[in-house]
Amino acid sequence: MTSIDLADVTVAGVSVDTRHYIGGRRVASETTFANTSPIDGSELGNIARGGADEIDLAVAAARDAFPAWAAMPTAERAAILNRIADLVEERLPELANVETMDNGGLLRSNLRGVMPRVAHNFRFFADWAVNQLRHDDFETRGHTNHVSWDPSGVAGLITPWNAPLMLATWKIAPALAAGDTVVLKPAEWTPLTASLLADICADAGLPDGVFNLVQGFGREAGAALVAHPGLRRISFTGSVPTAKSIARAAADNLTPCSFELGGKSPCIVLADADIELAAALAVEQYDNAGQVCLSGTRLLVHESIADDFAAAFQAKAASLRQGDPRDPDTDIGPQVHAVHFDRIKGFVDRAEADGASILMGGTANADLGGLYFTPTLVGDAARGSEILTQEVFGPVLTMQRFATDEEALELANGTEFGLAAVVVSGDRAHAAAITERLVAGTIWVNCFFVRDLRAPFGGSKKSGVGREGGTWSFDFYADVKNTVVAP
Ligand code: NAD
């Protein structure tokens, strides 16, 4: 398994080890896969391509490390997680630059929002385990019930490419804080910052084997991980088809799964909305080049204000600057990968062929070429059509008009997804009448993307299974136990 001499590559001036990290050691594989930057197609290096053998090694290392990590006092575990957070903050520019090269996300956002949130993930769950994770004892006929959260074992974590380190640490931090050990398989399009995190874990004094990283493809390393009988938990963020295949594999071992999946969220603009605010919030749905699971990509606008809204929206969207994500003035960068770019283009082309109007964009940026897909607005799509029901996961919004609240709700709830929704209204009672009938895990009224790790996060319908955040995360990663003591 160590026949190819892989080691470091240099990305954005930062040295990144391209091997797995198993049991505190770097481990190579017999084969590798190429990693390229979506910014300009440049080669970023060859990455170790793990499979069943590396997964076996990693799960064994995590199992070996589990008893001591689980037995460590919560406050000591938390102190190590806080040291990881310190090092993330110390190396924040390196992490931000490498991630931008790897997935094409805005450097500005990585520096100011995404990487600080990575550090926050560790601090938050460390603090929650020490200070917040408790349930008041209660009595049953004089007997005392005491609820506790025990470490459960090895958690297998599988993550996507759209916010690679933030989404990975949203799982790693609560799993470690709960006393579990982990094996992470990051997305093959964005392997780099997970490797930097392995360095950070080692430097922070995390015991060997508590965090393990296996690089590789979903159908190889990913499939081997989720089928492994040594796991006690599987947490997955990604697409619905992959979740179905993971659920099938997990069923053989009855491994509990947490799924954070896709969305087709509505952004509902009621007749009493402030049109400028509505247009500004709608334009935010292009964030991260539309590669955000929570995006409200279906603009549902009351017919009385639809023309004014469309004009305000298009004026704001036209001022977005598309370009190199390292440029601080850039608002929209490239799509993550050519395969994904073609998928997005396919959706838009088929919508047009089906009679929809491309009101804005719909093509590669003529000046930039490559993977830079222009912010796109699709109108007049037929109800039930693919572009209105399937997740595109790119900078593609649709616009539909509605006449009544009833119709807005029917459209909003009319997909198999239920991840999020945005409601824009000048009247709180009117907004509340809508939100209480929406099926979604997270709803924003007159705002977007305000996230608090104390809040439950997850999707309804096919957008997910379970909730994470605060105690909900520990409910998943830990074995929740009730001890009843006689008087
Ligand atoms: P994906 O399902 O193709 O891949 C996600 C991960 O699963 C990758 O690491 C991949 O290697 C792995 N994988 C693929 N096949 C596998 C298999 N058979 N067994 C085990 N692992 C396998 O998804 P993606 O394209 O990387 O991510 C985009 C999707 O993620 C979108 O649907 C998006 O909405 C969703 N997403 C959801 C959230 C959320 O919190 N709800 C957040 C971000 C992204």
pLDDT per residue as tens digits for the range 365-398: 999 989 999 999 999 999 999 999 999 999 999 9
The DSSP result for 228-289, as a single string, is: -TT-SEEEEES-HHHHHHHHHHHHHHT--EEEE-----EEEE-TTS-HHHHHHHHHHTTGGG
Enzyme catalytic residues: 260
CA of 237 from ligand 1 middle (Å) equals: 5
Q: How large is the average pLDDT for residues 274-292? A: 98
CA of 336 from ligand 1 middle (Å) equals: 13
Tell me the β-bridge partners of 80.
Answer: none
Q: How confident is the model at residue 1 (pLDDT cuts 50, 70, 90)?
A: very low
CA of 394 from ligand 1 middle (Å) equals: 15
In the numeric block, which tokens belong to residue 430? 């009117």
| Residue bearing the CA closest to ligand 1, atom 42 | 293
What's residue 369's pLDDT?
Answer: 86
What's residue 8's pLDDT?
Answer: 87
CA of 265 from ligand 1 middle (Å) equals: 18
| Residue bearing the CA closest to ligand 1, atom 12 | 218
pLDDT tens, 105-126? 999 999 999 999 999 999 999 9
ipTM: 0.97
Q: Tell me the one-letter amino acid at 198.
A: A
Q: How far apart are CA 1 and CA 360, in angstroms?
A: 51
Single out the residue of 395, 400, 394, 427 nearest to residue 415, CA to CA. 400
Other beta carbons within 10 angstroms of residue 266's beta carbon come to 29
pLDDT tens, 297-320? 999 999 999 999 999 999 999 999
| Residue bearing the CA closest to ligand 1, atom 14 | 218
What's residue 438's pLDDT?
Answer: 98
Would you say residue 244 has pLDDT above 50?
Answer: yes
Q: For the chain, where do the domains classified as CATH 3.40.605.10 start and end?
A: 9-262+463-482
With residue 148 as reference, give the H or E element that holds it: strand 143-151
pLDDT tens, 469-481? 999 999 999 999 9
Q: How far apart are CA 189 and CA 382, in angstroms?
A: 34
CA of 163 from ligand 1 middle (Å) equals: 11
pLDDT tens, 25-35? 999 999 999 99
Q: Is the CB of 160 under 6 A from ligand 1?
A: yes
Q: For domain 9-262+463-482, which CATH number applies: 3.80.30.20, 3.40.605.10, 3.90.79.10, 3.40.50.300? A: 3.40.605.10
CA of 465 from ligand 1 middle (Å) equals: 14
What is the percentage of the chain residues whose pLDDT exceeds 90? 98
CA of 116 from ligand 1 middle (Å) equals: 23
Query: Is the separation of the CB atoms in 65 and 152 below 8 Å?
Result: no
Q: Is the CB of 224 under 6 A from ligand 1?
A: no
Closest approach atom of ligand 1 to CA 262: 34
What's residue 2's pLDDT?
Answer: 41
pLDDT tens, 155-178? 999 999 999 999 999 999 999 999
Query: Is the separation of the CB atoms in 64 and 154 below 8 Å?
Result: no
| Residue bearing the CA closest to ligand 1, atom 11 | 218
Q: If you average pLDDT over every residue of the chain, what do you get?
A: 97
Q: Is the CB of 219 under 6 A from ligand 1?
A: yes
Q: Is the CB of 262 under 6 A from ligand 1?
A: yes
Q: Is the CB of 218 under 6 A from ligand 1?
A: yes
Q: Is the CB of 151 under 6 A from ligand 1?
A: no
Closest approach atom of ligand 1 to CA 457: 40
Q: Is the CB of 223 under 6 A from ligand 1?
A: yes
Single out the residue of 154, 187, 153, 158 nearest to residue 170, CA to CA. 158
Q: At what angle do helices 192-203 and 164-177 cross, to 10 degrees?
A: 40
Q: Is the CB of 222 under 6 A from ligand 1?
A: yes
Tell me the β-bridge partners of 483.
Answer: 146
Would you say residue 4 has pLDDT above 70?
Answer: no
Q: Is the CB of 54 under 6 A from ligand 1?
A: no
CA of 50 from ligand 1 middle (Å) equals: 17
Tell me the β-bridge partners of 267.
Answer: 299, 422
Q: How far apart are CA 271 and CA 301, in angstroms?
A: 8
Q: How far apart are CA 194 and CA 88, in angstroms?
A: 12
Q: For the chain, where do the domains classified as CATH 3.40.309.10 start and end?
A: 266-445
With residue 184 as reference, give the H or E element that holds it: strand 181-185
Reduced DSSP (H G I as helix, E B as strand, rest coil) percent helix, strand, coil of the chain, to 5: 40, 25, 35
Query: Is the separation of the CB atoms in 267 and 299 below 8 Å?
Result: yes
Query: Is the separation of the CB atoms in 260 and 242 below 8 Å?
Result: no
Would you say residue 337 has pLDDT above 80?
Answer: yes
The DSSP result for 35-54, as a single string, is: EE-TTT--EEEEEE---HHH
Other beta carbons within 10 angstroms of residue 77's beta carbon come to 23
Out of 242, 285, 295, give the residue to mutate to test ligand 1, the one with the largest number of ligand atoms within 8 Å of its CB. Answer: 242
Q: For domain 266-445, which CATH number applies: 3.30.450.20, 3.40.309.10, 3.50.50.60, 3.30.9.40? A: 3.40.309.10
Out of 293, 416, 419, give the residue to mutate to test ligand 1, the one with the largest number of ligand atoms within 8 Å of its CB. Answer: 293
What are the two backbone dihedrals, phi and then psi, of residue 236, each rounded to the nearest 5 degrees? -130, 135
What are the two backbone dihedrals, phi and then psi, of residue 161, each rounded to the nearest 5 degrees? -100, -10
